């Protein structure tokens, strides 16, 4: 019985080590800081199309969110800065949703099980839609070159901010940048 | 702690003052990091151990022999960041060079890797993960923008080399050379 338990524990340890290695190629204490600002777009242009299914199979269409300020975040579970910034995105949603902010997080190239099991580890867990771009076609339509990349789409459907690399989305400086674009002040 | 030097050249061939660089080793994993912060730009290379790269790609659908090809190609977690440059920073990896034993080599383009994976029958989800886990082939960063991604320099474990990273800010060319960088040996 104890031998069987030991085998199970070793199997668990191997799986945990593999998961850590797979998810964290760089040492945790050696991570670059998250940025506290968004990049304004000098001449806002209409956002590209975005229509994808979430983890429950429900279709979400950015075009149907006109009238809201929408944060569109492209990410993947294996991307270290994406993992770090996601809780701040949920805190931002909690803070500004009642003023007309919505968040869409677009996972690139992964399946429902992978995304679901990852987000269960987050605190706070995301309550915004997690969309699946399994062939990365939508992301390429948005001309994303690296993960994470985030766009902010105003109530008229124009891209007004961009953020390449990880952000602390609930930082006061970011919130201050978003305030003037919120439909409800 | 060993210091390395990086010369930043603005408007080649004029040489800007050399900046001291940092080198450190993670006490838990032994992985080494080389970094410079100069002229408002930060460049960092951190070793990815072959075991780490193997685990990463095996768990994303690569066959063992395919993961091995990449894991043993001297892989670094690379970060380039525009902290306070006087304008947008633009770069293309095609302009970067690996300098080893007096020889200058280009980095292997990500498209070449993807062609190899298609040829070897690596599944599409694994190829997508590979593509987006790499440091971007080209990018433009406004102040505060950055990426973190994998970069294989195509050298055997333990080899030492210099990396010449090139970028442009406000129409001026810069070259940052990280010297005496070492591929992970295990």
CA angle in degrees (0–180, nearest 5) for A115-B128-B59 = 60
Of B44, B59, B128, the CB nearest to A109: B128
CB contact under 8 A, A27 and B53: no
Dump pLDDT digits (tens) for B33-87.
Answer: 999 887 789 999 999 999 999 999 999 999 999 999 999 999 999 999 999 999 9
> Which of A14, A21, A117 to substitute to test the interface with B, most B CBs within 10 Å?
A21
Residue B111 forms contact with A (CB below 8 Å): no
Kindly tell me the sign of the dihedral angle through the C-alpha atoms of A15, B75, B145, B91: negative
CA distance A1 to chain B (A): 31
Of B56, B129, B142, the CB nearest to A25: B56
Nearest to B18 by CA among B180, B183, B179, B181: B179
Give the range of the structural domain holding residue B151, as residue numbers without chain letter.
Answer: 4-182
pLDDT at A180 (0 to 100): 97
Residue A96 lies in a domain: yes
pLDDT at B161 (0 to 100): 97
pLDDT at B186 (0 to 100): 67
The total number of structural domains that make up chain A = 1
CB contact under 8 A, A165 and B77: no
Dump pLDDT digits (tens) for A3-34.
Answer: 444 334 433 433 443 444 444 444 445 678 99
Dump pLDDT digits (tens) for A42-90.
Answer: 999 999 999 999 999 999 999 999 999 999 999 999 999 999 999 999 9
Dump pLDDT digits (tens) for B114-160.
Answer: 999 999 999 999 999 999 999 999 999 999 999 999 999 999 999 99
Percent helix, strand, coil in chain B, to 5, is: 20, 40, 35
Residue A26 lies in a domain: no
DSSP secondary structure string for all residues of A157-172: SEEEEEEES-B-TTSH
Give the burial string for B100-132 (b: 16+ CB within 10 Å, else e).
Answer: beeeeeebbebeebbeebeeeebeebbbbbbbb
Integer Cα distance of B93 and B98 in angstroms: 11
Q: Which chain A residues contact residue B81 at CB under 8 A?
A: 32, 165
Give the range of the structural domain holding residue A166, as residue numbers without chain letter.
Answer: 34-181
Q: Cβ of A91: how many Cβ atoms within 10 Å?
A: 15
Residue A163 lies in a domain: yes
Residue A70 lies in a domain: yes
CB contact under 8 A, B146 and A39: no
CB contact under 8 A, B26 and A30: yes
Q: Cβ of B74: how many Cβ atoms within 10 Å?
A: 25
Residue A28 lies in a domain: no
ipTM over 0.95: no
Residue B184 forms contact with A (CB below 8 Å): no
Of B28, B59, B143, the CB nearest to A22: B59
B20 confidence band (pLDDT: 50, 70, 90): confident
Of B58, B139, B144, the CB nearest to A146: B139
Residue B60 forms contact with A (CB below 8 Å): yes
> Which of A26, A74, A132 to substitute to test the interface with B, most B CBs within 10 Å?
A26
CB contact under 8 A, B31 and A35: no
Q: Is the pLDDT of residue A169 over 60?
A: yes
Q: Which chain B residues contact residue A108 at CB under 8 A?
A: 128, 132
| Cβ–Cβ < 8 Å for A115, A128 | no
pLDDT at B4 (0 to 100): 38
CA distance A62 to chain B (A): 23
Give the burial string for A4-16 (b: 16+ CB within 10 Å, else e).
Answer: eeeeeeeeeeeee
Of B48, B138, B144, the CB nearest to A145: B138
The total number of structural domains that make up chain B = 1
Integer Cα distance of B14 and B44 in angstroms: 23
Residue B124 forms contact with A (CB below 8 Å): yes
CATH of the domain at A166: 3.40.30.10
Largest pairwise CA distance in chain B: 49
CA distance A111 to chain B (A): 9
Residue A19 lies in a domain: no
pLDDT at B39 (0 to 100): 79
């Amino acid at each position: 019985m104890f031998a069987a338990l030991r085998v199970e524990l070793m199997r668990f340890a191997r799986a945990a080590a593999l998961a850590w290695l797979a998810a964290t190629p760089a040492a945790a204490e050696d991570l670059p800081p998250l940025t506290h600002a968004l990049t304004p777009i000098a001449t806002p242009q209409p956002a590209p199309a975005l229509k994808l299914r979430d983890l429950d199979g429900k279709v979400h269409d950015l075009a149907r969110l006109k009238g809201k300020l929408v944060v569109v975040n492209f990410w993947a579970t294996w991307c270290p800065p994406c993992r770090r910034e996601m809780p701040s995105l949920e805190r931002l949603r909690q803070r500004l949703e009642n003023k007309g902010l919505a968040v869409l997080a677009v996972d690139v190239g992964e399946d429902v099980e992978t995304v679901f099991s990852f987000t269960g580890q987050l605190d706070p867990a995301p309550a915004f839609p997690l969309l699946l771009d399994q062939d990365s076609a939508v992301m390429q339509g948005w001309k994303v070159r690296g993960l994470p990349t985030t766009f902010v789409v105003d109530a008229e459907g124009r891209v007004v901010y961009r953020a390449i690399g990880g952000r602390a989305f609930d930082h006061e400086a970011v919130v201050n940048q978003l305030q003037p674009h919120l439909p409800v002040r | 702690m060993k210091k390395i030097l990086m010369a930043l050249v603005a408007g080649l061939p004029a040489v800007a003052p050399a900046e001291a660089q940092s080198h450190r080793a993670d006490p838990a994993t032994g992985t080494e990091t080389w970094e410079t912060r100069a002229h408002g730009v930060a460049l960092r290379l951190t070793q990815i151990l072959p075991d780490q790269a193997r685990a990463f790609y095996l768990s994303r659908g690569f066959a063992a022999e395919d993961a091995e090809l990449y894991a043993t190609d001297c892989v670094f977690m690379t970060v380039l960041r525009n902290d306070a440059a006087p304008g947008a920073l633009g770069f293309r990896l095609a302009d970067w060079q690996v300098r080893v034993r007096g020889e200058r080599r280009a980095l292997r383009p990500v498209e070449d890797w993807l062609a190899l994976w298609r040829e070897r029958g690596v599944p599409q989800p694994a190829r997508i993960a590979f593509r987006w886990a790499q440091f971007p082939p080209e990018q433009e960063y406004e102040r505060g923008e950055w990426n973190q991604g994998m970069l294989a320099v195509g050298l055997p474990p333990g080899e030492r080399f210099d990396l010449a990273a090139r970028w442009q800010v406000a129409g001026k060319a810069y070259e940052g050379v990280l010297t005496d960088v070492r591929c992970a040996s295990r």
